[in-house]
A and B are shown apart, each in its own frame.
Chain A
Amino acid sequence: ETGVTQSPTHLIKTRGQQVTLRCSSQSGHNTVSWYQQALGQGPQFIFQYYREEENGRGNFPPRFSGLQFPNYSSELNVNALELDDSALYLCASSAVVNTEAFFGQGTRLTVV
């Protein structure tokens, strides 16, 4: 059974650019959630996808968007990057029956 994998591991972008981060969920998991973790803080919930539909969103602007694919992998897209978007972006997957959330190693995004 493979765990949650994210790509890329590190990324540097310029303010105003767009970025796409990718997540492969753990085998058998159909729910993916994305979190933003600023340095020295706890993760903040961005949104959750269940069976390819958005299933709840945290306090993030519309320039944060996502997708979930039929194989339950997911993308996080951020448009018009701002310096404050610099953070570790974490993906977590969970299953309907076994409901614990398991995190990937994260993507470290730096906006300059």
Chain B
Amino acid sequence: GENVEQHPSTLSVQEGDSAVIKCTYSDSASNYFPWYKQELGKGPQLIIDIRSNVGEKKDQRIAVTLNKTAKHFSLHITETQPEDSAVYFCAASRGDYKLSFGAGTTVTVRA
């Protein structure tokens, strides 16, 4: 089955700086890669996703890049704000939306 590895496990950044989270996947048939943000006591919230026919996607301060050859994808958050503090999960699937998740990255934005 699919194996998704996520790094780093924790990330502390100064407000206004950028944050980058990286994930690798094992199944070359995976073609859908969403990112979720989970706040304490809540379910994961979809923040951005990318499909295998696209190399990069951006939505305001958030961007995701995908390298199919290397089987890795990354989340970039620019101009971080305190409300960006949360746990972020990457995931991969073959398009059947049976998601395989990474272990998560706890992001802390210092004021």
Give the distance to chain B from A77, nearest Cβ to Cβ, in Å: 19
Is there a chain B Cβ closer than 8 Å to A105's Cβ?
A: yes
A-B contact count (CB 8 A): 62
A72: chain B residues within 8 A (beta carbon): none
Is there a chain B Cβ closer than 8 Å to A33's Cβ?
A: yes
A42: chain B residues within 8 A (beta carbon): 4, 6, 89, 91, 101-104
Q: Which residue of B lies closest to A102 (CB)?
A: B46
Give the distance to chain A from B94, nearest Cβ to Cβ, in Å: 10
A58: chain B residues within 8 A (beta carbon): 98
A90 to B6, CA, bound (A): 20
Instruction: Please provide the chain B residues from 35 to 80 with a CB less than 8 Å away from any CB of chain A in the complex.
Output: 36, 41-46, 49
Select one of B1, B97, B102 contacting A101, CB under 8 A. Answer: B97
A44 to B46, CA, bound (A): 16
A102 to B6, CA, bound (A): 21
B34: chain A residues within 8 A (beta carbon): 100-101
A105 to B95, CA, bound (A): 23
A41 contacts B46, CB within 8 Å? no
Residues of A within 8 A of B (CB): 4, 6, 31, 33, 35, 40-45, 48, 55-56, 58-59, 90, 92, 94, 99-106
5 sampled A-B residue pairs with Cβ under 8 A = A33-B97, A42-B91, A100-B49, A102-B46, A105-B43
